[in-house]
Amino acid sequence: MSKLTPVLSAHWDEADSFTIEAYTRHGGYTASKKALAMDPDAVIQLVKDSGLRGRGGAGFPTGMKWGFIPQGDNKDHYLVVNADESEPGTCKDMPLLLANPHVLVEGCIIACHAIRAERAFIYIRGEVTHVARRMNAAIADAYKAGHLGNGIDITLHIGAGAYICGEETALLDSLEGFRGQPRLRPPFPAIAGLYARPTVVNNVESISSVPAIINNGAEWYQSMGTEKSKGATLYSLSGHVNNPGQFEAPLGITLREILELAGGVRTGHKLKFWTPGGSSTPLFTDAHLDIPLDYEGVAAAGSMLGTKALQIFDETTCIVRAVLRWTEFYKHESCGKCTPCREGTWWLVQILRDLENGTGTEADLEKLLDLCDNIMGRSFCALGDGATSPITSSIKYFHDEYIAHVTNGACPFDPVKSTLFAGAVN
């Protein structure tokens, strides 16, 4: 039996999969019909029972989040879908929306009904023109078919290039027409979110998982996954592998199993380090091939499941170069609101640059760890914490390679060997 369980991706191989005709052909919009006939609280209970957890990174139980929305408060409620997908390595939501935007529309209808919202916003990052087209057309077609406009509306909002707008409160500020900077919490979005109204913010994959749960039931969803990490999810494999791509599998599958399916690390090379869930999740090495990729398994091994973005790097890759580049990203994307992150990421980049080009010292490693200590847990939002992950984890596993840069006075790696066009065997 296959280890893979395509549900979201089940019909992506049909050329017209993104159209309303294809979606309807495969039972699309039957789940929303069913859910709209249910009591909203029963929908929330069903999603709670399914065990679905947020796929945007933190793994918060989706049904519980919906349950936090106050009822009978006579206020507008909002659903906001986070389609900002900008965490380095993360590449599941954009292909999902390109191949089947209607599943998100249907998920929005169900979620709006459950939380008693009349309007959903879908916030898509701005750097994906064709995804924006597909989403816009799907919403328009859903209106024409009468799935929207009868008490539930969806507004598409397109971003303009800012990683921080993926952080849910920064996203809300951005959607209100301000610079995207995180808000102080409490109040949490469930109490005062968009326009200070009760708001649920969920990831694309979380909301898109709901229609199948409504149609097949909580028990079906529960039957996949592990004890506390239920269901199936999209794992995105990229980098130095023979066949990168999307793998929809039950939570708890291991990297070893996924690599076997993908034809392994590129031929002639071996695994050096990888991210389990994007660049903000501490790095793993070849010692972690058998860690169950669920929320608990990855956490127990000292990292986070995050967005399940499995970025694979082989032995040709310089760890210092990789970490420096990620750190430059965090420095560039720091919104500047708090000092530890704004100033800290600047210093991290300076020190890592010296280390990479061979002018650093052993003491610089201590400085890096000290700086990370001062950023971690002291930053206003999780971007600052995330910036320290690649640094502290890489020093833990590859201390000697940092030192080799110091003693060599230069980077000992040839970057050409890491490229796709260098071929499988050098």
Partner 1 sequence: MTLDRDLMQTIIARYPRSRSAIMPLLHYVQSVSGYVTNEGIETISEILGIETAEVSAVATFYTQYKRKPVGEYHVGVCTNTLCAVMGGDAIFSALKDHLGIENDGVTADGKVSLEHIECNAACDYAPVVMANWEFYDNQSVESAKSLVDGARAGNPPAPTRGPNKLVTYKEASAVLAGLDDGLAREGLQAGAPTLLGLKLSKEGK
Ligand X SMILES: Cc1cc2nc3c(=O)[nH]c(=O)nc-3n(C[C@H](O)[C@H](O)[C@H](O)COP(=O)(O)O)c2cc1C
* Binding footprint of ligand X on the chain (CB under 6 A): 54-58, 60, 82, 84-87, 163-164, 166-168, 201-203, 206, 381-383
Q: Mark the segment that binds ligand SF4 (CB under 6 A) among 3-11, 108-116, 228-236, 377-385.
A: 377-385
Is 218 an interacting residue with respect to partner 1 (CB under 8 A)?
Answer: no
Q: Candidates 54, 107, 180, 182: give the one binding ligand SF4 (CB under 6 A).
A: 182
Helix (H) or strand (E) holding 396: helix 382-408
To the nearest whole angstrom, how small is the minimum distance from the Cβ of residue 39 to partner 1?
27
To the nearest whole angstrom, how small is the minimum distance from the Cβ of residue 175 to ligand X?
13
Interacting partner of 82 out of partner 1, ligand SF4, ligand X, none (Cβ under 5 to 8 A depending on kind): ligand X
To the nearest whole angstrom, how small is the minimum distance from the Cβ of residue 424 to ligand X?
33
To the nearest whole angstrom, how small is the minimum distance from the Cβ of residue 63 to partner 1?
26
Interacting partner of 342 out of ligand SF4, ligand X, partner 1, none (Cβ under 5 to 8 A depending on kind): ligand SF4
Residue by residue, DSSP assigns 358-391 as T---HHHHHHHHHHHHHHTTTSSSHHHHHHHHHH
Interacting residues of 22 by C-beta distance below 8 A, sequence separation 6+: 11, 14, 16
Is 384 an interacting residue with respect to ligand SF4 (CB under 6 A)?
Answer: yes
Q: Which conformational region is residue 29 in: left (phi greater than 0), alpha (psi within -120 to 50 degrees), or beta?
A: left
To the nearest whole angstrom, how small is the minimum distance from the Cβ of residue 201 to ligand SF4?
16
Cα–Cα dist 368/406, whole Å: 14
Report the candidate in 189, 238, 195 with the shortest Cα–Cα distance to residue 82: 189
Query: Which is nearer to ligand SF4, 164 or 214 (by Cβ)?
Result: 164
Q: Write out 16-83 in H/E/C secondary structure.
A: CCCCHHHHHHCCCCHHHHHHHCCCHHHHHHHHHHHCCECCCCCCCEHHHHHHCCCCCCCCCCEEEEEE
Interacting partner of 290 out of ligand SF4, partner 1, ligand X, none (Cβ under 5 to 8 A depending on kind): none
Q: Binders of partner 1 among 3-22, rule CB under 8 A?
A: 3-6, 9-10, 12-19
Cα–Cα dist 254/233, whole Å: 13
Task: Enumerate binding residues for ligand SF4 (CB under 6 A).
Answer: 164, 182, 334-338, 341-342, 379-381, 383-384
